[in-house]
Amino acid sequence: MANEKLKFTCDYMEGAHPLIMKELLSTNMMQTSGYGLDEFSESARDKIRKACGAPEAGVYFLVGGTQTNATVIDALLRSYQGVLCADTGHIAVHEAGAIEFGGHKVLPLPNTDGKINAAQISAYMDTFLSDESHEHMVMPGMVYISQPTEYGTLYSRKELTALNEACRRYHLPLYVDGARLAYALASPDNDVTLKDLARLCDVFYIGGTKCGAFFGEAVVIPDPALIPHLFTIIKQHGALFAKGRILGIQFDALFTDDLYLHIGKSALDCAAAIKSALKENGYRFFLETPTNQIFVILENEALHRLEKHAEFSFWENYDDSHTVIRIATSWATTKEHTDALIELLKENRA
Amino acid sequence: MANEKLKFTCDYMEGAHPLIMKELLSTNMMQTSGYGLDEFSESARDKIRKACGAPEAGVYFLVGGTQTNATVIDALLRSYQGVLCADTGHIAVHEAGAIEFGGHKVLPLPNTDGKINAAQISAYMDTFLSDESHEHMVMPGMVYISQPTEYGTLYSRKELTALNEACRRYHLPLYVDGARLAYALASPDNDVTLKDLARLCDVFYIGGTKCGAFFGEAVVIPDPALIPHLFTIIKQHGALFAKGRILGIQFDALFTDDLYLHIGKSALDCAAAIKSALKENGYRFFLETPTNQIFVILENEALHRLEKHAEFSFWENYDDSHTVIRIATSWATTKEHTDALIELLKENRA
Amino acid sequence: MANEKLKFTCDYMEGAHPLIMKELLSTNMMQTSGYGLDEFSESARDKIRKACGAPEAGVYFLVGGTQTNATVIDALLRSYQGVLCADTGHIAVHEAGAIEFGGHKVLPLPNTDGKINAAQISAYMDTFLSDESHEHMVMPGMVYISQPTEYGTLYSRKELTALNEACRRYHLPLYVDGARLAYALASPDNDVTLKDLARLCDVFYIGGTKCGAFFGEAVVIPDPALIPHLFTIIKQHGALFAKGRILGIQFDALFTDDLYLHIGKSALDCAAAIKSALKENGYRFFLETPTNQIFVILENEALHRLEKHAEFSFWENYDDSHTVIRIATSWATTKEHTDALIELLKENRA
Amino acid sequence: MANEKLKFTCDYMEGAHPLIMKELLSTNMMQTSGYGLDEFSESARDKIRKACGAPEAGVYFLVGGTQTNATVIDALLRSYQGVLCADTGHIAVHEAGAIEFGGHKVLPLPNTDGKINAAQISAYMDTFLSDESHEHMVMPGMVYISQPTEYGTLYSRKELTALNEACRRYHLPLYVDGARLAYALASPDNDVTLKDLARLCDVFYIGGTKCGAFFGEAVVIPDPALIPHLFTIIKQHGALFAKGRILGIQFDALFTDDLYLHIGKSALDCAAAIKSALKENGYRFFLETPTNQIFVILENEALHRLEKHAEFSFWENYDDSHTVIRIATSWATTKEHTDALIELLKENRA
């Protein structure tokens, strides 16, 4: 350990939560049907429906975030429609054009700390509809947000309600990317529950890959009639997992005894400790976040010193002499590593 | 005429230049092969090659601008690449997602009077290439500009040369949308010739629809090896015109006796007269343009008065009490109509 | 003429019917709105609605057949659906993958003389729906036929009614490609009227390019609610014609005094004369057709002799020593040329 | 167990081989980089390169078969090209149009026991290239086969060599879908090694999901220069697995001590025993296969009796009174279950 660097690069460096591994192991030689038609998947779907207060919801398990976004967005849009989102949205920047690959334009709106708001949706739609040549333009067909956002910020229930109302007014389905949803649910600053999501969104996904699962994301469609033939659409996108039970087992474990609701807690505790240390030692935040991602502006020299002992995620060049880095904790971050990082941050500042 | 409105809405309100109509009529009952394999198309291709100083150029005739852009861009890009352009570019705004329909992301850069510059290309590419996660992002695969731009402005030879150099440095083909190219070529402020285009761009198209043809655009590829199997790509895009000779006859006429080089002249004369009148009468320009499109900021009341007698193109709301309109002249604009418009502008201002 | 070959290659070798040219010429300098919003297009739409007995029909003018097929099929299908058609269908073979470019699979059924029948549709759908893994397969979403077919054959009203019933049963819109529809309407063997098409199909197009127009196809959607936002879909496909009135003027002329219903008559008269001559002189038909395309099996040597004086369309190699050729007449075929061809066929056989 | 049915439905009913589970478990809390940049993936790549005798090969780990096929085929084809394959090929039938979703036509050739041969490729290409209108058609851009095929049959080294030669002649990359490759490699009738595949194909994938892995497929590109930017293409297809090391660990285990070469052995032993029993008891084979899939024609009554005690895969209706079923063994099939099935087959026949 002495010569190994501390790693706070991202929230998917480890495998799976031990309870998940245990279930995967104990069920390993059982024989089940493929494609999510097994009993584990059925059980996981039931538990998720209950947790979301959406007894009729369609629940589908996919493998990863980009795949899920591309599949859901293709399923929600008509061929000539585009998707409104923050200009920092994952689909706008970091999915290598997966949405455009499906034929759809990403329509970016200026973000505020990674978020967009209801007024922006309304303004965009009003301008669009009043434009004489709007039939020559891409018709917005849905809204994409993420909770937490790519910047680790949160939509409040009030903000989400306003977005829901704006979306309804313009007949735009609202889709929430919950790749890191566990870190929202565990945040003391959060007031949006799974039930709120099921009530206020048309589709959302519960992220597994970054939240303690080996891998996998659970798509929830409170009113499944919204997307007919999603099974086939998933298959068409190469997103149908043959041994579906592997996904089912994981989400069954995550939704047993509310594990998913708590799994982000230790990550937030570690993040809180790191944030305090940063503040106490005079570090400068790029923005304040209530979840497991911390964005800090460092002098490049300080960064080089830190990087001898720890790994972070490069975020962006702030100016010629400063860099924005991201420190990410996760369900697997240990107190030991957190303390070591805090020590390092203290020393380095001195 | 007394009760008819003056129309300065756009540059495609009439049919074709009389010389073109004459040729279409005189050849009407001749029998030729389809798909551009006829003698008229061959003659037109030769004349265009000569006018461009590009004896080896591939020349293809398509029907309209959006179709041409979508076809050429699909042909130039690999499946995972996107196209850099001004955020005001026709492909970015007014083609209903035709580029995304082909699977490609439009990568908009902030425009200055409708233009982008070499430094922007370099900066974008440097940032992209130095981004650790650029393999997760859409790879820029070409640059799209228009000459004149959507705002009627012109790239100078120097600017185009700089763009060419930046594009070469990053292995980005440079494509020029010349929907209104005749109005650039006829502008006293223009120093970019067809030969410059053939030398400095990888592909460009010579616009017919807005420049005196019935319809049609001529794609020029100075080094045709750049795009193998373009014929099939055109067919795949539904852009292969069965009676290709109708396009060939038009471009043959446009490139006989340098008609294309002069056809925009009267439009520019009319535009100059209108611009003078606007200045003299204290109108406010949205931006200054050296071609056939004039952008004026009008008080909404003044606009309503004018609209009783003339039609313009709505451009955008400037503020609550002002509107930007576009006045467009064309090869077909008459001195009579121009004088009448000037009179109207005078009266209205008084 | 002495040294020029007779041309019976296809039905789009000439320009336009003189009445169309006259209208295009006389309206040339009029100023109209673009994109089909002009009065000529409106008049043409009205006349077509009347001719089809479909007063509410949506009517859209596009430029060519492949473009029309790709646009309509994309508009009718959901992203995960495919289109059933004859394996000889134009979309299956000769559109360079334009349907797949839009993301849709072409699902070919074995043809009989270029046609498919209701029983095939039912059998395909029953097999599909009873296949346990049909959700892993492309879901058929519509049926494409052409009238006349690529082999010049005709669907009877009875056959079309049966297709309509099968399509209704399986919720498959029925689309008819009428690229050569005028030659069906003028055929003595035809009993399917425009009104039948409007009654029995969900979408069909009235072909102009091969039927006397300069170019253009008129898409008719008896119940326009079937395809919302088709204008935008057309634009997205690069199929929106800027000077829409050019298409409108042509179809207005074609639907004045029932021109379209009669324009194929002379082509069929010429074809009948040629067929008689072929029979009398012992030529062998590849199949019998009631329209303007004639398919003949020739010994290769006989073909070479004929080709010195006349041009046909190569169809396929019949066997090592025989070739199938297509002789096509058109609205523009003259009696003089027809007689010369008949003479040639006689001489050559002797 | 007494009342549980025997399951011979498919080869992906269980989890993973115990050695794989052990490795996944023992490495679970290690921290590694994402996206396949970890040391396990690197080790697996090295071992695969060695096993294939392809020291320069690009090796990429993806999640499932349809995803892999769609990604590789999109990467190999230009936008206007299609893929030749057997009409029974997985991409032609059972991938819900994933290839068409990427814009490419699947060009099916008639299969013989699931296979196509070099002469068919040559004949198709010769006919295509000699067709006057081939530029209006989809250009074949590659060949897809599977080893073993969807019918469990095998290409011999001689057949693969001939395919390789035909492909080279027409510049068609040859791609092999190895979803069940372990069952080919373990077959006594097989003479195609991994080294042969690396020598004779342009791309192939080593199937994990059906061959003892939890999930995952390893794409091998002997000459990686063939596909630039595949990482981005994988991301664009939603096929980039975040915790890449989970795939790396599995393939590292599969290529340790030649596990992959032996893992199919017990499946083939069980299949051989079942085949013998079938023969001895007078069952009728749909076709003879040298791998782990057995296709039997059963009277429907016999099938219903058997189905009370065992599950198979429905394959197709043979005629009104007979059905073709598939019996599949796998790496996880036990001798106990095999003996029980044999007993059942005996009893039932009697």
pLDDT in tens, B256-277: 999 999 999 999 999 999 999 9
A45 within domain boundaries: yes
| Cβ count within 10 A of residue C306 | 22
Max distance between CA atoms of chain D, in angstroms, equals 67
A282 within domain boundaries: yes
How large is the average pLDDT for residues D297-303?
95
Same domain, A124 and A246: yes
Q: Up-side HSE of residue B220: CA atoms within 13 Å toward CB?
A: 33
Taking the C-alpha atoms of residue D184 and residue D188, their distance in angstroms, rounded to an integer, is: 9
B161 within domain boundaries: yes
Taking the C-alpha atoms of residue D115 and residue D289, their distance in angstroms, rounded to an integer, is: 12
Confidence grade of residue C112 (pLDDT, cut at 50, 70, 90): very high
Per-residue confidence (pLDDT) for residue A13, from 0 to 100:
97
Per-residue confidence (pLDDT) for residue A1, from 0 to 100:
43
Chains in contact with C, where contact requires at least 3 CB pairs less than 8 Å apart: A, B, D
φ, ψ at B319 (rounded to 5°): -155, -165
Q: Is C36 left (phi over 0), alpha (psi -120 to 50) or beta?
A: left
The tokens describing A170, both together, are: 């313009």
Q: Domain end: A228, A262, A296, which one?
A: A262
What letter would DSSP give residue A6? Answer: E
Q: Is B101 near chain C, with CB under 8 Å?
A: yes
Same domain, A57 and A145: yes
Three-point CA angle C236, C237, C243, nearest 5°: 90
What letter would DSSP give residue B135? Answer: G
Check whether A21 has a pLDDT greater than 80: yes
CATH of the domain at B285: 3.90.1150.10
Three-point CA angle A144, A147, A150, nearest 5°: 85
Same domain, A163 and A305: no
How large is the average pLDDT for residues C202-213?
98
pLDDT tens-digit series, residues C240-281: 999 999 999 999 999 999 999 999 999 999 999 999 999 999
CA proximity to D342, closest of D306, D316, D317, D308 = D306
Scanning C17-56 for CB atoms below 8 A from A yields none
Q: Name chain C contacts of B215, Cβ cutoff 8 Å.
A: 241-243, 246
Three-point CA angle A218, A77, A93, nearest 5°: 70
Task: Report how far apart, in Å, the C-alpha atoms of B159 and of each of A117, B164, B237, B293 are.
Answer: 39, 9, 32, 21
Same domain, C226 and C91: yes
B1 within domain boundaries: no
The tokens describing A248, both together, are: 């089912």
**Buried b vs exposed e over B307-317: b needs ≥16 C-beta within 10 Å?**
eebbbbbbbee
Per-residue confidence (pLDDT) for residue A280, from 0 to 100:
96
Pairing assessment for the beta strands A313-319 and B174-178 based on DSSP bridges? unpaired
Taking the C-alpha atoms of residue C216 and residue C247, their distance in angstroms, rounded to an integer, is: 6
Per-residue confidence (pLDDT) for residue B348, from 0 to 100:
84
The tokens describing A291, both together, are: 């979840």
Q: What is the ipTM of this complex?
A: 0.97
Taking the C-alpha atoms of residue B142 and residue B99, their distance in angstroms, rounded to an integer, is: 13
Same domain, C72 and C141: yes
Which residue in the block uniquely carries the two structure tokens 């305090």?
A276
| Cβ count within 10 A of residue D63 | 26
Residue D250 near residue D72, CB atoms below 8 Å:
no
Range(s) of the domain holding residue B280: 6-13+263-349
Which residue in the block uniquely carries the two structure tokens 């020590």?
A343
Q: Name chain A contacts of D29, Cβ cutoff 8 Å.
A: 14-15, 332
Pairing assessment for the beta strands C174-178 and C217-221 based on DSSP bridges? unpaired
How many B×D Cβ pairs under 8 Å? 42
Same domain, C211 and C296: no
Q: Which residues pair with A206 in a beta bridge?
A: A178, A218
Residue B83 near residue B140, CB atoms below 8 Å:
yes
Per-residue confidence (pLDDT) for residue D7, from 0 to 100:
97
Same domain, A258 and A273: no
Q: Domain end: A262, A279, A306, which one?
A: A262
Same domain, C249 and C313: no
Q: Up-side HSE of residue A2: CA atoms within 13 Å toward CB?
A: 0
Three-point CA angle A147, A150, A153, nearest 5°: 55
pLDDT tens-digit series, residues A170-194: 999 999 999 999 999 999 999 999 9
Q: Is D79 near chain B, with CB under 8 Å?
A: yes
Residue type, position C76, single letter: L
Q: Name chain B contacts of A101, Cβ cutoff 8 Å.
A: 79, 103
How large is the average pLDDT for residues B65-70?
98
CA proximity to D12, closest of D182, D162, D169, D131 = D182
State the burial class of residue B112 (Cβ atoms within 10 Å of its Cβ: 0-12, 13-18, 19+): middle
CA distance B73 to chain C (A): 13
Q: Which residues pair with B146 in a beta bridge?
A: B177
How large is the average pLDDT for residues B197-202?
98
**Closest by Cβ to D242, choosing from A33, A64, A332:** A64
C47 within domain boundaries: yes
Check whether B20 has a pLDDT greater than 70: yes
How many A×B Cβ pairs under 8 Å? 52
Helical ranges in chain A per DSSP H: 18-26, 39-52, 65-76, 90-93, 98-101, 118-130, 157-169, 181-185, 194-200, 230-236, 245-254, 259-262, 265-280, 300-307, 335-349
Confidence grade of residue C4 (pLDDT, cut at 50, 70, 90): confident
Element containing residue D86 per DSSP (H, E): strand D81-86
User: Which of D241, D243, D314 should be substituted to probe chain A, the one whose Cβ sees the most A Cβ atoms within 10 Å?
Assistant: D243
Per-residue confidence (pLDDT) for residue D349, from 0 to 100:
76
D1 within domain boundaries: no
Per-residue confidence (pLDDT) for residue A4, from 0 to 100:
84
Taking the C-alpha atoms of residue B43 and residue B249, their distance in angstroms, rounded to an integer, is: 9
The tokens describing A274, both together, are: 């790191």
Same domain, D102 and D219: yes
Per-residue confidence (pLDDT) for residue C1, from 0 to 100:
43
Confidence grade of residue B350 (pLDDT, cut at 50, 70, 90): low
Per-residue confidence (pLDDT) for residue A348, from 0 to 100:
84
Q: Domain end: D204, D231, D262, which one?
A: D262
Same domain, B251 and B319: no
Q: Which residues pair with B64 in a beta bridge?
A: none
Check whether B147 has a pLDDT greater than 60: yes
> Which residues, other chains included, contact C50 with Cβ-Cβ below 8 Å and sequence gap of 6+?
none
The residue of chain B nearest to residue A139, with distances taken between CA atoms, is B96
Sheet holding D139-146, edge to edge: D58-62, D217-221, D203-207, D174-178, D139-146, D81-86, D106-109
CATH of the domain at D204: 3.40.640.10
The tokens describing B287, both together, are: 């931006």
Q: Name chain B contacts of C217, Cβ cutoff 8 Å.
A: none
The tokens describing C90, both together, are: 């134009």
Task: Report how far apart, in Å, the C-alpha atoms of C339 and of each of C6, C276, C303, D330 are.
Answer: 11, 12, 19, 73
What are the DSSP calls for D5-73, one per residue? PEE-S-S-SS---HHHHHHHHHTTT----STT-SHHHHHHHHHHHHHHT-TT-EEEEES-HHHHHHHHH
Q: Name chain A contacts of B138, Cβ cutoff 8 Å.
A: 96-97, 100
pLDDT tens-digit series, residues B307-324: 999 999 999 999 999 999
CA distance D258 to chain C (A): 34
User: Which of C88, C99, C105, C107 should be substituted to probe chain D, the one whose Cβ sees the most D Cβ atoms within 10 Å?
Assistant: C105
How large is the average pLDDT for residues C143-171?
98
Confidence grade of residue D1 (pLDDT, cut at 50, 70, 90): very low
Same domain, D220 and D338: no
Same domain, A88 and A200: yes
Residue type, position A94, single letter: H
| Cβ count within 10 A of residue D263 | 23
**Closest by Cβ to D139, choosing from B80, B136, B229:** B229
How large is the average pLDDT for residues A203-211?
98
The three-state secondary structure class of A180 is coil
A1 within domain boundaries: no
C1 within domain boundaries: no
Inter-chain CB proximity A135 and C236 less than 8 Å? no
Taking the C-alpha atoms of residue B197 and residue B220, their distance in angstroms, rounded to an integer, is: 9
Inter-chain CB proximity D79 and B80 less than 8 Å? no
Residue B145 near residue B85, CB atoms below 8 Å:
yes
**Closest by Cβ to C100, choosing from D100, D135, D314:** D100
Total domain count, chain B: 2
Task: Report how far apart, in Å, the C-alpha atoms of C194 and of each of A18, B90, C99, C222, C249 are.
Answer: 70, 39, 26, 11, 20
Residue type, position D54, single letter: A
How large is the average pLDDT for residues D311-321?
93
Taking the C-alpha atoms of residue D245 and residue D311, their distance in angstroms, rounded to an integer, is: 35
Element containing residue D107 per DSSP (H, E): strand D106-109
Residue D252 near residue D83, CB atoms below 8 Å:
no
Check whether A3 has a pLDDT greater than 70: no
Q: What is the radius of gyration, based on Cα positions, of chain D?
A: 21
Q: Name chain A contacts of D13, Cβ cutoff 8 Å.
A: 31-34
Which residue in the block uniquely carries the two structure tokens 């007063």?
C55
Taking the C-alpha atoms of residue A54 and residue A58, their distance in angstroms, rounded to an integer, is: 9
What letter would DSSP give residue B147? Answer: S
Task: Quote the crossing angle between the two packed helices C335-349 and C300-307, to the nearest 10°.
Answer: 140
Q: Is A105 near chain B, with CB under 8 Å?
A: yes
